[in-house]
Amino acid sequence: MSVTILAIESSCDETSAAVCCDGTILSNFIANQTIHAQYGGVVPELASRAHMQNIVPVVDAALKNANKSLNEINAIAFTQAPGLLGSLLVGTQFAKSLALALEKPLIAVHHMQAHVLANLIGQVKPTFPFLCLTVSGGHTQIVLAHNPLHLEVLGETMDDAAGEAFDKTAKLLGLPYPGGPLIDQYAQLGNPNAFKFAEPQVPLLNFSFSGLKTSVLYFLQKQKPEFINAHLNDLCASIQATIIHILLQKLQLAAQQTGISQVCIAGGVSANKGLRAAFINMGKANGWETFIPPFEYCTDNAGMIAITAYYKFKAGQFADLSISPSARAEW
């Protein structure tokens, strides 16, 4: 029997719906919320309201793009955790209502598992077991994927996530939210060795980024605005190089410790051009086979929820209609 799944993602500020048939993504529609830029960060209540407005047209567009009707769908999947609770509630309630009305099974998906399994979308996939460095706005983790449904977190951030390190240092430089993609853009024109910033040392496979943020803050406080403007490209390149070095050093350690040479990156920060290039180079130097999800599956999207739901469907892992979302990250 062929399996067609409609998936919904609404954990933060993107409303997304996707349709997947037998593990192939047929559509992945994403509505970005631009309203948050003027506030310098995501405003939870505004995000929930925007999800309410977007969800029906977004689901409609995903079905149309996939050329599927609701009666061809075998299951409804949604992001259950982690995320902003008000945002998660919109997607959860919508998915539950649809499952109830259509009398179809419901599948609850963990957002961080989905970021990792985004690497199973597309033609070239890692084989199990593989390592994944998941770098997003809310999380930074090294995960050992034993199989699609058994992921083990080997290390994670003790404070800020890598995406936060990008966004918060961008804010210190006077760049608008979200600053990560802008740092990426300016860094391409700058010298990554122009400035040196602190690299906090933390044990094992864990990460820390708050010391880097403080080091950038103290450095910038001593500079005149004209200096910052004149050296923006070099500052962005140096900050980005520090974040990449912190991330890849630990990934290399994880590969050495586990002996695993199938290595992936995932999450919004894996869209970063500098990280992608450095990761591929590190893979070549260490004899790894490296994988990065297609660009549209790096930042938040329902395609990754759909692919995860496909594996859960095959394993018979369905959710009860009494399920509620959780803001917390526990697996």
How far apart (Å, rounded) are the C-alpha atoms in residues 17 and 10?
Answer: 9
Residue with tokens 């405003």: 43
Beta strands in the chain (DSSP E): 4-9, 14-21, 24-32, 75-81, 106-110, 130-135, 140-147, 150-156, 262-266, 289-291
Q: How far is the CB of 22 from ligand KG4 (least distance, A)?
A: 26
- What is 51-95 written as a DSSP string? HHHHHHHHHHHHHHHHT--GGG--EEEEEEESS-HHHHHHHHHHH
Residue with tokens 């970021």: 115
Closest CB to ligand KG4 among residues 62, 161? 161
Task: Give the residue closest to ligand KG4 by C-beta.
Answer: 268
Question: Left if phi > 0, otherwise alpha if psi is -120 to 50, otherwise beta: which for 214?
Answer: alpha
Task: Give the residue closest to Zn ion by C-beta.
Answer: 136
Interface region with Zn ion, contact rule CB under 5 A, candidates 81-89, 132-140, 174-182, 186-194: 132-140
Closest CB to ligand KG4 among residues 2, 38? 38
Q: According to CB under 5 A, which one of 136, 140, 238, 262 is a site residue for Zn ion?
A: 136
- What is 267-296 written as a DSSP string? SGGGG-HHHHHHHHHHHHHHT-EEE---GG
How far apart (Å, rounded) are the C-alpha atoms in residues 132 and 117?
Answer: 9
Using CB under 5 A as the binding criterion, the count of chain residues that bind Zn ion stands at 2
Interacting partner of 178 out of ligand KG4, Zn ion, none (Cβ under 5 to 8 A depending on kind)? ligand KG4
Interface region with Zn ion, contact rule CB under 5 A, candidates 21-29, 133-141, 159-167, 180-188: 133-141
Note the residues at the interface with ligand KG4 (CB under 6 A).
12, 136-138, 163, 166-167, 178, 180-181, 184, 267-269, 271-272, 299-300
Q: Could you give the angle at which helices 85-102 and 44-66 cross, rounded to 10 degrees?
A: 40
Interface region with Zn ion, contact rule CB under 5 A, candidates 1-9, 136-144, 157-165, 249-257: 136-144
Closest CB to ligand KG4 among residues 3, 280? 280
Q: How far is the CB of 271 from ligand KG4 (least distance, A)?
A: 4
Is 249:193 a contact under the CB 8 Å cutoff? Answer: no
- Give the pair of three-digit tokens for residue 232: 């923006």
Interacting partner of 134 out of Zn ion, ligand KG4, none (Cβ under 5 to 8 A depending on kind)? none
Question: x-or-dash pattern for Zn ion, window 281-300, by CB under 5 A?
Answer: -------------------x
Closest CB to Zn ion among residues 163, 274? 163
Q: Which of residues 299-318 bind Zn ion (CB under 5 A)?
A: 300
Q: How far is the CB of 81 from ligand KG4 (least distance, A)?
A: 12
Closest CB to Zn ion among residues 161, 282? 161
∠ CA 93-60-118, rounded to 5°? 75
Q: Write out the residues near Zn ion by the rule CB under 5 A.
A: 136, 300
